Each structure stands twice: as structure tokens, then as C-alpha cells.
Structure 1
Amino acid sequence: MKKHLLLFFALITFAFAKAQNYKTVTYFANDTLKLEMDVFVPKGKSKEKLPLVVHVHGGGFSGGERSSDRDFTKKAAEQGFVAANITYTLYMKGKSFSCDGKLPEKIKAIQIAANQLQQAVIYFLKNESTYNIDPAKVFISGSSAGAETVLHAAFLDSKMMSMYSESLPANFKYAGVISGAGAIMDLNLITPKNLVPVLFFHGSCDTIVPYATAAHHYCPPNSPGWLMLFGSYSIYNHIIGLKGNTKLVTYCGGGHEYSAELFHNDPLQIIDFMKGALKNEKQQSHTIVATGKECQKYAEYEFCK
């Protein structure tokens, strides 16, 4: 009886994995660390090299799972992308990432995640022929903490932030970035030289990751965890000023609950943006979405009224 049950559960597990149509691989390992990711590959063979999108889940660098946004990566694979959801070190687990936390710890959490994301990209570049990937067509995406990760991975000096022996090629540049309720520590990190297409979506009343420019969690300046952040609206306007390609979707009155909105409910909008970026289409737009909610604590933006 026990053997029959074990066989039954094994078959169920196999059928589930096959239905999900992904393969779990180890993208980085050393003496103390093993990091995995789930990789979706388009069905059928393509004569042309494929674009890649590597996704980072949210969770405040203390929680979350790579399985949370698999619907997006599965849809991306259906649309011709190799797509992966990565696991990364949750450095803030058991620590505070809010106002009572420690600023150096917050910065280190972002640095670790961004470095590990880059190791996942390096894995794909080293296995370019296996996955039939075009190194010039690599996108990174994330929500919340994942969005902070991808923004810093794209725009922070990779040599300065490097934590591992292997680095991205000196001339490497991402094809684009997808940021759901993300922010960056310094707008000056984004320059005409490193500019890439970016799609943002964010709730205008987010009290965790600021929609515009404010302290993380809106912490008072005397907090040990005080960290100024430039959110989606500020980065969008900065990129517009640099005449770059960017789109912003604003959920008026929405909070941090919209951090994965497009990944879960409109992945085709993201995929269309990535396809446009691959065609070098000029993309500059700001879409206003009414949520029926109002800001309870902070002033609403004029375009939301």
C-alpha cells in the first residue's frame, strides 16, 4: 500500500511539473550557497536567437518565492521568450526593512540581490547556445523588492557593486527593464550612456516604496533605517528628460498592492513593451488607471483628481 501511495504522489509531481512546462536549474553555487531558477522555454525550434527575460520576485528581501509570478514567465515563453524566475538570498529575513532597521543592511540586501540576478544572467550568457539566446536581447523584471533589484542591477556600476568573481561582459547592456513598484537610490545613476527602455507601474499612494521621491516607508529623517528613494514617477520623468524610451502606468489611489499588477493581470502589456523595445520603437507614454481609491495619508497627484 505504501509503495502504491509513493508511486501515486511521484506521478502527480511529475505530471504537475510537466504541466508547468519549466525546468529547474542551479544558476550559481559555491561552498555555502546554491541558487536555483525555473526556466520556461518556447515550444518548437526557432531559427532566430531568442530574447530572454529574468524575473525577480518581491517580498521585502525577507520573504516571497520564485513561484509567485510564474504566470508571467509562462506567458512570456508562449510569446517567444526564454523566461526565468530566480531564487535569491533573502538577506533581510529576521531583520527589519522598515524605519527601525539599519541603513547599511538595507543597501546590502539590494546589492546581494542585484549581484545574484547578474549571476543568473551570466549563467544564460555562458549557456547561450543551449537556450538559443541572443545576448543583445536580455530583459530583467521584478516587483517591489524585485523591482528595486532590477533597477539597481541595470544602472548601478557593476564593477563597484561586484561581489562575485564572474562579471558581465564590459560591453553588456540590458535590452530593457520592467519595474513594478520599484525605486532607485540615486537618479544620477541613470545616464544617457547606460539608458535602456523601462516600463514602470506603481500605485500613486504607495506608502512602502514611494511612487515619486520620498524616504523608504516615508521614514522620518532621524530613523536608523532612513533611505531616500526615487520611485517610478521620478525615474520616468528623468528618463523622459534624457529622451529615453519609457512607459508608466499609474494606479491612482492605489497602494503597494499594485506592485505585481501587470505581471498577474496584464502580462501581454509587458510583453508588447519588450517586443517594441526589440524593434527600437520610440515608447513614451503615461497611462492613468482609476482604482476608485483615495490616498489616506499623502496628497494625491493632480492628474489623479
Structure 2
Amino acid sequence: MTQQPLFTVGDVPVFGDAILAPMAGYSDVPYRALCRAYGSAMHYTEFVPAEALLGKRVHERFRRRLDTQPGEHPMVFQIFGNNAQMLLDAALRIQEWGPDIIDINMGCATRKVSGRGAGVGMMPQPELIAETFKLLSQHLEVPVTGKIRLGWDATQENFLEIGRILEQNGAALIAMHGRTKVQKYGGNANWDAIAQLKQAVSVPVIGNGDVQGPEDIDQMKAHTGCDGVMIGRAAIGNPWIFARQRREDLAVTDIIKAVRLHAREMVAYYGEASGLRQFRKHLKRYFEDIPDLELDSLLSTESFVEFEEGLEEVETAVPTQTPLKNLQTATV
């Protein structure tokens, strides 16, 4: 029997409800491959500034952020900027590179992005958002989507206005992080606001914010009615969340299996030394809650043979079949 999609983005089917968030420095080809293996249903690239895509030759650093693997679908290319025509020109260029969907980031709260009217800095500019989405939806062949926050601050929570503008001007999906720009990642995400947005628009809505474990995916869906749940920080070092597995129920052998797979993907994509260097930030998160592990050799080597030897030492240092929650209890 043919599986039915849970929702569609324009004419693009999505077959699951747990989605890896776009994260600068993390949502690259290797990590997306790993999360897809565990069940992430749709993938966003790291975001790229529109102006970086408009020269005669796109710098390799930005071109690589929009790289994909064969069979990686649905694939969302995410860009940002503060000029509608520039965003259109960039979107037209990258459309030729094969995305299923192009997304405009209106949620990044970092000062260097939002301070120049891009990212969440677009939200106080509803006319710019309307112009941008009208242009893109008229001229692109792929669906256009937007990722937003509640607004700039507690006095400017204009997500309902922006949501309606997005829908009226051709957006095929809206993802929303339930915090303001000023909050960044502090306080609690407002799931009630995600529910309000879902009620206000007819296009699919993806909720984002405060999903820490697999149970939160279902709780957010039940609370908000959202079509999908976007997972960011809680997925770093924890791809099992997409398979609805609780990290504390895993054995160390499960962790090491994922580490090997991820490290191999990194080395295959970036090369041996560079891949292992860039993998270090992930490695720390994979092993951060396993007591009494010595990781210095794993975190310093640029040789994959030595890395494999280090993993074998980890396997002999801890009882690999014991669930993590039991290891942690034993040390208390």
C-alpha cells in the first residue's frame, strides 16, 4: 500500500512529522544524512546570505552550504536578506541547483543578521515580507516557505499578521519558533502562539521550540495542532530523537554506532583531517553524559585509523550494553 504524506508543501509531499532544524555550523550534508537515517522527514540547509549568491562565481564556502546528496528529499534551501529583488535573484539562481523548496529565514536573532533587517529583522517590516513573497511565489517554480519567530520583542509579537501576509502572498508553509528575537533561546517557547498561528492560516505550520525528547514531539502536535515539529538543539548528539527513541534508554554501543557512522560521513565529505576536526563539536555532545570517559585522543586526532582505535578504547572502558540511565545512576 502506498504511504500517504502527512502534509504537502505546495506539491511536495512530506511523510513524517519530525524535522531537523536549519542550524548554522551543524545542518550540513553529513549530519543531515545521519538524521535522515534515523527518520528526519524534511531537511533544511544552513542559511546563506542572498548577496553571497549573486556574484559571477559563488564562493565555495556558501556553495557547499547548499550542497545535497542524491535522494535527499524533500530538500529545503534556506536564504536570508533584506531586499526583495536581491532575494528573488538569489532564489532564481539556486533554484537551478535542485531544491524541492526555497525558504526565507525570518527567524535568526543574531545581531549581525537581524540588526541589518534580515532574519527576524524582517518581521517589523511587513511590507518587505509581502513584496518578497509575492515576487518569489510569482517567479519561482518551487514552493516558497518562511521561518519566523513570535516577533521582535514582547511589545511587537506580530506573528499572526506576518503569517497572514505570508499566506496571502504565496507561502506554502510557515515554520515558527515560539520565542521573540529578544528572548533568543531564553525563557519558554510559547506553544499557545503556535496553536494560534495554525488556526489563523490554511497552509501547513511547523512548530519549533522546547522539544527536548520524543515525547515532546507528540505533546507539541497535540497542544498546537501543528503539522510537523522542528528539532534543533535537542538533536545535536541525539539523532535518535527522530526515531522517537529516548537517549537515556540507549546503550553505549548505540552511541558508538552513530558516532562511527557520522564520523565516516564527515571524512567522506570533508576529507580525513578536516572532517575529524569539524566532527569534534558533535563528538563532545555524543559523549557528554557518559561518566568517566577520556576523550582527549579522539578530540585531537586527525587520523581516522587513530579515531577508530580511540573508539575501541571507549568500548573497553564502559559496559557498552548498559543503558545510559543506568550508567548515570551508578555514578550518583
TM-score (norm 2): 0.31
- Greater share of helix: 2
Greater Cα radius of gyration, structure 1 or 2: 2
Give TM-score scaled by structure 1 length.
Answer: 0.34
Higher strand share: 1
